[in-house]
Amino acid sequence: MNTGGGQDWRCPVCGGVEWRTLYPLPATGSESGVDPESFRPSADRFGQAVGEVVRCAVCGHGSLLVAPAADAVARAYADAADPVSVREEAGQVQTAQRALEEVERFVTPGLVCDIGCWTGSLLVAARERGWRTVGVEPSSWASQRARDRGLDVRTGDLDAHGLEPATCTLVVLADVLEHLSDPGHALGVAHDLLEPGGVLHITVPNAGSPPARVLGRRWWSVLPMHVQYFTKSSLLRLLSASGFAAQETHSHAKAFSARYYAERLGGYSAGLERAAVKTLERLGYADKLVAPDLHDRLAVIAVRT
């Protein structure tokens, strides 16, 4: 167990200062850096991080021991682009439809703000279901794609929403908190935006899941753009401390083409990827949407208290 160890580390969930190594740096050094290529959603640099990942000895939450420079991260997100996302938008909309069906058991459609909305697929699904929609996205490329879809999406960080406090029925932070050095601040922004009784919908990779435990640092969610490694208990703890009451937690399967999932195998073996893609193409399944539940992703619906 370490305390500081020359590093000014404090757990972003509980404030603890004692930690154990979760994913060490390899003996060869610093791994991949902060760059737009590694910060795109379809990046497959599995097992790589921009530094050592440690686990809090108090609450079990994982995070980088030393967060990358904020200005470098901001530039990488602003410049990130991923044409694969456009190809996969049908699956993203399908995933969003399923999430909104779950949310609408707790609230009726009103104003939704999707923070970190990427190309706006959740907002497209919400618009079809009668929601009023606003998005915020740091990537210039992705936010422009969202606007091309007829959406009100503002380019900037999570504070750039431009909305009045307590005006949202729903705030979405899908695949966002794991990217932030201060996830508590994001929850504070969401809390301020939500009307009393409003709903927050969150998804994150689950570092306490069986795939994460079995694969260790070779788990596919150990990536250069990930700063936080939540478990179910650490996420619920942070939500409670931020003024939210969790109503439902469950695993979160995402719909993509079978081709997309086969291409992700390239993060482990280029040969395996090629073989999988060719097999799917030969069978005529490459472009079919699939949503395998690998039980390594966590969704939480929480109410503002």
Amino acid at 256: F
Q: What is the pLDDT of residue 49?
A: 85
Rg (CA), the chain: 19
Q: How far is CA 1 from CA 6, 37, 50, in A?
A: 13, 35, 22
Q: What is the pLDDT of residue 171?
A: 98
What does the pLDDT profile of the chain (305 residues) look like in tens digits?
676 544 689 999 999 999 999 998 765 444 456 667 777 887 888 888 888 999 999 999 999 999 888 888 888 899 999 999 999 999 999 999 999 999 999 999 999 999 999 999 999 999 999 999 999 999 999 999 999 999 999 999 999 999 999 999 999 999 999 999 999 999 999 999 999 999 999 999 999 999 999 999 999 999 989 999 999 999 999 999 999 999 999 999 999 999 999 999 999 999 999 999 999 999 999 999 999 999 999 999 999 99
Q: What is the pLDDT of residue 121?
A: 98
* Cα gap 253→227, rounded to integer Å: 22
Query: CATH assignment of 80-203+243-304?
Result: 3.40.50.150
pTM, full prediction: 0.93
Q: What is the pLDDT of residue 98?
A: 97
Amino acid at 149: R
Q: What is the pLDDT of residue 43?
A: 80
Residue 27's CB is within 10 A of a number of other CB atoms, namely 5
List the structure tokens of 58.
């108090």
Backbone angles phi, psi at 213, to 5 degrees: -70, -40
List the structure tokens of 143.
């936010």
Q: What are the structural domain ranges in the chain?
A: 80-203+243-304
